[in-house]
Amino acid sequence: MDWRNILRGIGLRIAEAAGYAVSVTYMISYLHTQELASTSQTITALCIASGIGIFATAAWAALTDRIGRRPLYVAVCAFAAAFGVPMFLLVNTGLMFFVIATIVLSYAVCQNALAGAQGAWFPELFAASHRASGASLAYQISAMASGFTPFITTLLFVWLGWLGPALLFVTYALIGLLSALATKETWGPTERRLAVEAELTTPMYPTMTSPIREKELL
């Protein structure tokens, strides 16, 4: 088992799952308690973001097939780190347009883009014999950070006001950024070129492959 890639995977997913717990889950509570948006306005913002998200995750995943997993992750985590403080400044205006825009960016970009990349990147980090267990451990262990996030954000809000949750979101994004920089690219230009060449040279009616050869290919 490659524990180094498991640790990298944990860091990568913290930016997505724990970041979502701040920017969307906690944000809903923040909007209500601070009376920045009504229930109907919050639901409207979530519905718009979710509607976009239906297509966003698949679109982001398709983009990683063109540019690679790592560049997208680095770019989105860097954006999220820069967006943490402005995210709260925007909703603090109480203007519906900014509330919707913030929820959409938090969900369709900061969360959906990372989730779209993870679907391919995480399994590619591990050998076939450990692929399911390696990716699963990275997912499940990182979920614990998400579970504690609402409690942590509440404590930080009591201590620092809205700046506390904002800085926590920035911290999660930076963890994801550093993890992405430390993780190898699994679908770079070389891999994409080889895949195209293999597709072009594959016969239209391939012959049967022996079980031994199939195992070697895996």
Which domains are delineated in the chain?
A: 3-217 (1.20.1250.20)
pLDDT score at 40:
92
Contact 180, 49 (CB under 8 A): no
pTM, two decimal places: 0.87
- E strand segments, 13-167: none
Q: Which two tokens stand for residue 44?
A: 């409207």
Name the stretches of the chain with pLDDT < 50.
213-217
- Among the listed residues 73, 64, 68, the one whose alpha carbon sits nearest the alpha carbon of residue 190: 68
Residue 152 neighbours by CB under 8 Å, 6+ apart: 168
What is the tens place of the pLDDT at every residue in 165-205? 999 999 999 999 999 999 999 887 777 777 777 777 766 55
